[in-house]
A and B are shown apart, each in its own frame.
Chain A
Amino acid sequence: LAGTGGPDGQGPGGPSWAVHLESLKGDGEEETLEQQADALAQAAGLVNAGRIGELQGHYLFVQPAGHRPALEVEAIRQQVEAVLAGHEAVRWHSEQRLLRRAKR
C-alpha cells in the first residue's frame, strides 16, 4: 500500500504489489530487470514504483494515482493477480498488507 513516492514511502495509497522478478535474458542486469519491471507493471495496469530497498529483482507496483470505487478496486485486484501469476518472469508476488507493529 505505498504511495507514488517510490517503494521507500508512506504506506497506503491504494493496493500495491511486491514482485520478485527473474531476468528473462538470464543476465540479471539491473537495467534489464528495471525495464522488465516497467513493462510488467504496465501490462498489469500498474506503475513501477521502483526497486524495494537493496533487494535485487524485487519491485513495488502501485496503482496510478486517483480515487476508485471499491468494486473497481476488486476488479483491478483480480486482473493484477491474473497477470502476475501468469507471467514467466515472476518468481513470487504478494499484495502488500498493513502490518501491526508496536513500540516496546
Chain B
Amino acid sequence: SVHFNDPKYPQQWHLVSPVLQCAVSGGGLLTISLFSRLHPSPEGSYDLNSNDPDPMPHPDVENGNHHGTRCAGEIAAVPNNSFCAVGVAYGSRIAGIRVLDGPLTDSMEAVAFNKHYQINDIYSCSWGPDDDGKTVDGPHQLGKAALQHGVIAGRQGFGSIFVVASGNGGQHNDNCNYDGYANSIYTVTIGAVDEEGHMPFYAEECASMLAVTFSGGDKMLRSIVTTDWDLQKGTGCTEGHTGTSAAAPLAAGMIALMLQVRPCLTWRDVQHIIVFTATRYEDRRAEWVTNEAGFSHSHQHGFGLLNAWRLVNAAKIWTSVPYLASYVSPMLKENKAIPQSPRSLEVLWNVSRMDLEMSGLKTLEHVAVTVSITHPRRGSLELKLFCPSGMMSLIGAPRSMDSDPNGFNDWTFSTVRCWGERARGTYRLVVRDVGDESFQVGILRQWQLTLYGSVWSPVDIRDRQRLLESAMSGKYLHDDFALPCPPGLKIPEEDGYTITPNTLKTLVLVGCFTVFWTVYYMLEVYLSQRNVASNQVCRSGPCHWPHRSRKAKEEGTELESVPLCSSKDPDEVETESRGLPTTSDLLVPDLLEQGDWSLSQNKSTLDCPHQHLDDLLHGKEEQIC
C-alpha cells in the first residue's frame, strides 16, 4: 500500500516492509556512505584521498568508483523525486568519507573511523582486506584504537555504529574470521543472502557474523536496485549492485530506522536487538544450531535475516543492556604439537564463579580466542571452540589457498554463536591439521580466552525475548508511546566542519556582487536626490550657477552643483570657460570620495532622461545628450 513515483521502486524487491507504512524512515539521523544526489550532509563528509571536505567520487580507469554512490542510495535515496529508487532510510541524511580511492594507511583509517563522529551515527563500511582466501589482516594499532574510541565516545557517548560487510571470498573458501574488521566485537558484521534464501556463491561462512540482508545471487537472480554515479558509463541508477557491499548498507539503513524510534540505543543495544530479532529461515545447507539461550545461528547466515519491522518494534521498547563486562584468561602456554586429522589437539580452560565475580559477567556476547601457532602451511589448520554449553564454533576454517608458512601470531578469532549463554564453565579449543601431509608438525604455542557479556542472567535474557515478541504486533509504534531517552554527552570533536573551497568561492563572488550593487544603488539614490534639489532652483528662469571662489572650493564648504552633462566636448569647454568645471572632472572616482559633488540636470539636457549612472561613473566624456 506504500507507493512512490520513483521509476525503479517496483523493482526494489528487498524493500517490502510494513515499517514504511508507519512513516518510519530514519528521519533526523545520519549515516555514512558516499555523497550522492540525496540529502547530503556536508558537515559529516570528508575526502581522505584528496584531503578536502568534498567526498564526490573521481572517475577511474576500472570504472569502480561508483561503489560509494550505490551504497549511499541503498540507505537514503530520496523518494518521490521520479528518479531511480528509494532508500531503506530515505529520511536519514547521508555523508560520505572517501578513503578507498588512493593509498591507505593505518593512521588514515583511524581518522576515517572517527571522522565527524558526533555528527555521523552509523558508519557503513563495504570494504575490507582482500578476500582471496589467503589473507589474514584487519585494523592495525590505530584502526583498532579508533574503533574502540568510536564505540566509547562516538554519537554523544552512545557509541558509533560500525556496519561492515563480511566479505566476498566464498569462491576461495575464505572466512570472515580472518578479517579483523569483521570479527571485531565493535562491528556489526553483515553477510548476504539471495532472494531464494540461500548463501550466494561469493558469500563467506563465519562464526562472528551477526546477521544477513539481501543482495544479488547467481546470474538468474535479481540484484539490488539503487542510485549510481552518472560519470563515464553511469546513468545515475543501477539494478546490478551486489556482493556483501550491497548487504551492509541495507543493514545500516535498518539500524537508522531503529535509531529514529530510539536515538539513545547504545552500540551494544543495537547488536543485542539484531540477535534477538533476526529471523531463521529454512535452508537445509545452512546447518542452523540453536544455542542454550534459544538463539539459532548458522555459519552461513548468522542469526538470520534482518527484518526492519522486528528491529524497529524491538528498538521502540528496548531498555539499555547493562554495562559491558569482560573476563580475560591468563596467556595459556601450551607448546603442543598439532596432530594430523582425524586426530586433534584439545586444550581446555575452566572459567569459575570466582573468575567472574569481579566483573559480574553472567551471560555471553562475543567470545574471542587469541592464538599463536607455528605451522608450515597456515591454510591446513582447523580451529574449533566449544563453549560450556557445548555450542561449537568453527573459528579457524581451513583454506586451501593459504600456504603462508608463518602460522598465526597473536591472531584473534571470535564467535557470537554462544550469545546469551552462561559464561561460567569449561571452554575447549580443538585444533587439528587437515593438510594432505606435513613434514613439519604444527605447534600451538599459546592461547588466551576473552569473554564479553553482561550481568544479565539467562532468566533476564528469556524475559527480554518474551517482551520483544509481545511488541511485534506494532502496538508500541504509535507516537504517544515513548520510553525516556537520555540526551547523551557533549563531546567536542578535533576539527569541526570546514566550508568546501567551492562554497567559499561562491560566497566571495556573491559578496562582491552584493557590495557592487549596494554601492551602485546608493550612488543612484544620492545622485537622483541631488537632481530633484537642483530642479527647484532652475524653475524661475535660466540656471544661475553661483561662482565659487577658489578658497571655498578647496575647503569644500559650499555645496557644488553643476550640469549633469555638457552639450559640447569637455576639452573645448575646458578652454572656453575656464570657470565652469566639466562633468568628467566631478564624476571621476577620486572626487566621488570627497562627496562634495552632486548630480544635476542641465536646462538643455531635459531630453536625456535615459542617461545611465554607470556611464557617468566611468567618466564617459563622449556621452553627449
Contact = CB atoms under 8 A, between A and B. Distances in A.
Given A6-B51, A102-B128, A104-B243, A53 B105 contact: no
Contacts of B112: 53
B121 to A, nearest CB: 15
A14 interface: no
Nearest to B109: A99
Interface in A1-53: 1-3, 5-12, 16, 18, 51-53
B142 A52 contact: yes
A70 interface: no
A98 B128 contact: no
A55 interface: yes
Interface in B29-81: 46, 48-51, 64, 67
Interface in B106-133: 106-115, 117, 126-131
Specify which of A2, A51, A97, A101 lies most central, judged by the most chain B CB atoms within 10 Å of its CB: A101
A97 B105 contact: yes
A102 B153 contact: no
B494 A16 contact: no
B493 A104 contact: no
Contact of B46 (A8, A54, A60): A8
Contacts of B104: 11, 98-99, 101
B114 A104 contact: no
A2 B108 contact: yes
What class of interface size applies to chain B in its complex with A? 35 or more
Contacts of B113: 53
Given A5-B51, A11-B104, A54-B146, A102 B129 contact: yes
B245 interface: yes
B37 to A, nearest CB: 21
B149 A54 contact: yes
Given A53-B113, A54-B149, A98 B105 contact: yes
Contacts of B100: 101, 103
B49 A10 contact: yes
A52 B165 CA distance: 25
Interface residues of A, number: 31
Nearest to A59: B107
Contacts of B67: 103
Given A94-B106, A104-B167, A8 B129 contact: no
A103 B51 contact: no
A101 to B, nearest CB: 5
B546 to A, nearest CB: 67
B577 interface: no
Contact of A8 (B48, B130, B165): B48
Nearest to A92: B141
Contacts of A97: 105-106
B114 A99 contact: no
Interface in A46-104: 51-55, 58, 60, 92, 94, 96-104
B510 interface: no
A44 B244 CA distance: 44
B32 to A, nearest CB: 14
Nearest to A94: B141
Contacts of A104: 126-128, 131, 165, 167-168, 243-245, 248
Contacts of A3: 51
Contact of A54 (B64, B127, B244, B494): B494
B107 to A, nearest CB: 5
A97 to B, nearest CB: 7
B114 A55 contact: yes
Contacts of A7: 107-108, 111
B107 A2 contact: yes
A60 B46 CA distance: 19
B103 A11 contact: yes
Contacts of A9: 48, 50-51, 108
A12 B126 contact: no
B228 to A, nearest CB: 14
A102 B164 CA distance: 13
Most chain B Cβ neighbours within 10 Å, of A2, A53, A60: A53
B464 interface: no
B105 A11 contact: yes
Contacts of B243: 104
Contacts of A6: 51
A1 B105 contact: yes
A9 B243 CA distance: 29
Most interface-central of B131, B135, B494 (chain A CB within 10 A): B494
Given A8-B48, A103-B100, A104-B243, A58 B145 contact: yes
Nearest to B104: A99
A86 to B, nearest CB: 20
B572 to A, nearest CB: 64
Nearest to A97: B105
Contacts of B245: 103-104
A80 to B, nearest CB: 15
A99 B494 contact: no
A10 to B, nearest CB: 5
A58 to B, nearest CB: 7
Interface string B203-237: 00000000000000000000000000000000000
B238 to A, nearest CB: 15
A16 B107 CA distance: 10
A1 B168 contact: no
Nearest to B66: A103
B110 A58 contact: yes
B102 interface: yes
B445 interface: no
Nearest to A9: B51
B102 A53 contact: no
B140 interface: yes
B279 to A, nearest CB: 24
Interface string B166-193: 0110000000000000000000000000
A53 B146 contact: yes
Most buried by A among B103, B130, B140, B243: B103
4 nearest interchain CB pairs?
A9-B51, A11-B103, A53-B111, A5-B51
10 contacts: A2-B105, A7-B111, A8-B108, A10-B48, A52-B142, A53-B111, A96-B105, A97-B105, A103-B127, A104-B127
Given A18-B106, A98-B105, A103-B127, 19 more contacts: A7-B111, A8-B46, A8-B48, A10-B50, A11-B108, A12-B103, A16-B107, A51-B494, A52-B142, A55-B146, A96-B105, A99-B105, A102-B131, A103-B100, A103-B245, A104-B126, A104-B165, A104-B167, A104-B244
